[in-house]
């Protein structure tokens, strides 16, 4: 027997969703054959078989979410080997909560699991409680009595989600105080429910978190909590930039060229990173990584979240090339067809909300990048020029810096170089 494991489709992938099976029990598969579609936090990707054999069982149902990397999702037997008696195709659904334990041998669907309990509610007195090992461990740590829980897993089995839900509504637990009295405490890891925070039950609709939202929530929380960051904000006059853009688009319209302000910003950021190489850096425990190229990640809004496709070596590309590449990446991002190398890594991020009328904002750092620039709307504002009041198109940008890598002096030097390219676009030709 050979187990097919949940693959790690990117270096940062910890879990995924099994979107679709393209094989069924009894099918013969060969190396290279596409057998399933897996959902990561950013895309849906096809998975190929590595071994040859006959599908004995599908251990995770199509549509399952939160399946941990390296969890068995299917089982193959060698071609010509006898099948296991009464294989249970659906019985493997109990593996949808990925816990890493060796899968139980398949059993007939008509027979309940050895540790199963009635699906209608908690276990009766003296009856064995059906719970996954992970659920048991979390419950023990949180002081939750499994006997009173209703399992949502196969055959009423209690799974991780059931314990976590119970933790959210768990009453205070009695613990012994030093003086012998009983003190009431709530498990430190217990998350608060909306009801505990004063929101009336039934007053809202709950949309379950998909893989993208889970990953965004985790990564942004980690970044905001763990990275010492600070903002630098400047105003830029962009009248010359807008004029240059209009002239380029008019001159090359017959060649299908249509440059956006964002395309020019990408180029200016890349050139500024090359002008101030200390700013084109990432923190690592081994040291500060100074990158050879400016790989500019650009935030693109898609259904259910955000993704940052990357223009690699942007300092080497002209505006027309950047425009065409960005249009292709953005479209494939919305279709969830990007490959991991097209949105992972990068040396710098750019997020533009100007087209939505946002004047200024600050973004959260996207590791491993040392800086992220937030771009607001260009608008007519009064300015003082040569001691006289004037009108100019002004855009506010905020640079969020990882202080472990980019201090105030380096961040300021980057913004000075960036300002030079934006306010005098012709300098980008040098």
- 26, exposed or middle or buried, with CB in 10 Å at 0-12, 13-18, 19+? exposed
The answer to whether residue 400 is domain-embedded is yes
Mean of pLDDT values over 187-215: 79
Verify that 259 and 375 share a domain, yes or no: yes
Task: Measure the CA–CA gap between 265 and 170, rounded to whole angstroms.
Answer: 51
Specify the 3-state DSSP secondary structure of 60: coil
Quote the domain boundaries for residue 15. 2-96
In this prediction, residue 422 carries a pLDDT of 98
- CA-closest candidate to residue 425, choices 294, 271, 317: 271
The answer to whether residue 108 is domain-embedded is no
Task: Measure the CA–CA gap between 87 and 72, rounded to whole angstroms.
Answer: 16
Q: 146: which 2 tokens?
A: 């499994």
Give the lowest-confidence range in 4-18, 106-120, 347-361. 106-120
**Number of folded domains in the chain?**
3
The answer to whether residue 180 is domain-embedded is yes
pTM assigned to the model: 0.63
Verify that 20 and 54 share a domain, yes or no: yes
The CATH number assigned to the domain holding 253 equals 3.30.559.10
Verify that 336 and 397 share a domain, yes or no: yes
Task: Measure the CA–CA gap between 8 and 13, rounded to whole angstroms.
Answer: 6
Question: CA 309 → CA 115, 148, 244, 340, distances in Å?
Answer: 47, 47, 26, 9
Q: How many helices (H) and strands (E) does the chain have?
A: 7, 21
In this prediction, residue 123 carries a pLDDT of 54
Q: 190: which 2 tokens?
A: 């217990």
Pairing, β 348-352 against β 371-375:
parallel
Model confidence pLDDT, tens digit, residues 297-320: 999 999 878 999 999 999 999 999
Mean of pLDDT values over 11-19: 81
The answer to whether residue 232 is domain-embedded is yes
- State the pLDDT confidence band at 155, using cuts at 50, 70 and 90: low
Specify the 3-state DSSP secondary structure of 343: coil
First to last CA, the chain: 64
DSSP β-bridge partners for residue 48: 34
DSSP letter for 362, please: -
The answer to whether residue 113 is domain-embedded is no
Verify that 295 and 394 share a domain, yes or no: yes
Task: Measure the CA–CA gap between 105 and 11, rounded to whole angstroms.
Answer: 31
The answer to whether residue 123 is domain-embedded is no
The answer to whether residue 356 is domain-embedded is yes
Verify that 193 and 240 share a domain, yes or no: no
Model confidence pLDDT, tens digit, residues 24-57: 999 999 888 999 999 887 778 888 888 888 999 9
Instruction: Tell me which of 146, 172, 206 is where a domain ends.
Output: 206
Task: Measure the CA–CA gap between 352 and 330, rounded to whole angstroms.
Answer: 14
Verify that 392 and 266 share a domain, yes or no: yes
Do 171 and 127 meet the contact criterion of CB atoms below 8 Å apart? no
Q: What angle do CA 410, 220, 344 make, to 5 degrees?
A: 75
Task: Measure the CA–CA gap between 354 and 378, rounded to whole angstroms.
Answer: 7
Verify that 228 and 338 share a domain, yes or no: yes
Verify that 221 and 288 share a domain, yes or no: yes
In this prediction, residue 89 carries a pLDDT of 43
Active site residue 403: yes
Verify that 314 and 398 share a domain, yes or no: yes
DSSP letter for 3, please: E
Rounded to 5, what percent of the chain is helix, strand, coil? 30, 25, 45
- CA-closest candidate to residue 275, choices 415, 143, 401: 415
In this prediction, residue 127 carries a pLDDT of 64
Specify the 3-state DSSP secondary structure of 147: helix
Instruction: Tell me which of 178, 206, 234 is where a domain ends.
Output: 206
Give the lowest-confidence range in 194-208, 294-308, 361-375. 194-208
- State the pLDDT confidence band at 132, using cuts at 50, 70 and 90: confident
DSSP letter for 276, please: S
Is the pLDDT assigned to residue 117 strictly greater than 70?
no
More confident of the two residues 296 and 207: 296
Verify that 265 and 319 share a domain, yes or no: yes
Query: CB under 8 Å to 205, separation ≥6 — which residues?
Result: none
Verify that 400 and 291 share a domain, yes or no: yes
Pairing, β 296-298 against β 72-77:
unpaired
Instruction: Tell me which of 161, 178, 206 is where a domain ends.
Output: 206
H-helix segments, 158-208: 160-169
Verify that 72 and 194 share a domain, yes or no: no
Question: CA 193 → CA 150, 164, 197, 217, distances in Å?
Answer: 18, 11, 7, 17
Question: Active-site residue among 292, 293, 341, 403?
Answer: 403
The answer to whether residue 126 is domain-embedded is no
Model confidence pLDDT, tens digit, residues 57-88: 999 999 888 898 889 999 988 766 666 554 44
The CATH number assigned to the domain holding 92 equals 2.40.50.100
């Amino acid at each position: 027997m050979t187990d097919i494991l949940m693959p790690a489709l990117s270096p940062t992938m910890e879990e995924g969703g099994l979107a679709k099976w393209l094989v069924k029990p009894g099918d013969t598969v060969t190396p290279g054959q596409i057998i399933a579609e897996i959902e990561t936090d950013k895309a849906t990707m096809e998975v190929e078989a590595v071994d040859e054999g006959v599908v004995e069982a599908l251990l995770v149902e199509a549509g399952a979410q939160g399946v941990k990397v390296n969890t068995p999702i299917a089982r193959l037997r060698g071609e010509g080997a006898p099948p296991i008696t009464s294989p249970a195709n659906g019985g493997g659904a109990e593996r949808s909560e990925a816990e890493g334990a060796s899968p139980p041998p398949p059993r007939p669907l008509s027979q309940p699991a050895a540790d199963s309990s009635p699906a209608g509610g908690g276990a009766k007195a003296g009856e064995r409680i059906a719970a996954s090992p992970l659920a048991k461990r979390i419950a023990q740590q949180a002081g939750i009595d499994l006997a009173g829980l209703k399992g949502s897993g196969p055959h009423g089995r209690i799974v991780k989600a059931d314990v976590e839900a119970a933790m959210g509504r768990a009453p205070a637990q009695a613990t012994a105080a030093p003086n012998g009295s009983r003190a009431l405490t709530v498990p430190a890891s217990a998350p608060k429910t909306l009801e505990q925070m004063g929101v009336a039950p039934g007053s809202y609709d709950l949309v379950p978190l998909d893989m993208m939202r889970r990953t965004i929530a985790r990564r942004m929380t980690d970044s905001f909590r763990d990275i010492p960051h600070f903002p630098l904000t400047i105003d830029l006059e962009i009248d010359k930039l807008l004029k240059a853009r209009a002239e380029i688009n008019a001159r090359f319209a017959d060649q299908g060229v249509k440059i956006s302000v964002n395309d020019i910003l990408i180029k200016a950021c890349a050139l500024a990173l090359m002008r101030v190489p200390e700013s084109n850096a990432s923190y690592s425990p081994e040291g500060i990584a100074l990158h050879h190229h400016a790989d500019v990640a650009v935030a693109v809004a898609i259904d259910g979240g955000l993704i940052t496709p990357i223009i690699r070596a942007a300092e080497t590309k002209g505006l027309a090339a950047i425009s065409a590449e960005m249009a292709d990446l953005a479209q494939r991002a919305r279709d969830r067809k990007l490959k991991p190398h097209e949105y992972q890594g990068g040396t710098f991020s750019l997020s533009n909300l100007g087209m939505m009328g946002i004047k200024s904002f600050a973004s959260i750092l996207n590791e491993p990048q040392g800086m992220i620039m937030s771009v607001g709307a260009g608008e007519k504002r009064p300015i003082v020029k040569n001691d006289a009041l004037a009108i100019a198109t002004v855009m506010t940008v905020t640079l969020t810096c990882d202080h472990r890598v980019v201090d105030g002096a380096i961040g300021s030097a980057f913004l000075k170089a960036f300002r030079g390219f934006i306010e005098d676009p012709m300098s980008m030709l040098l």
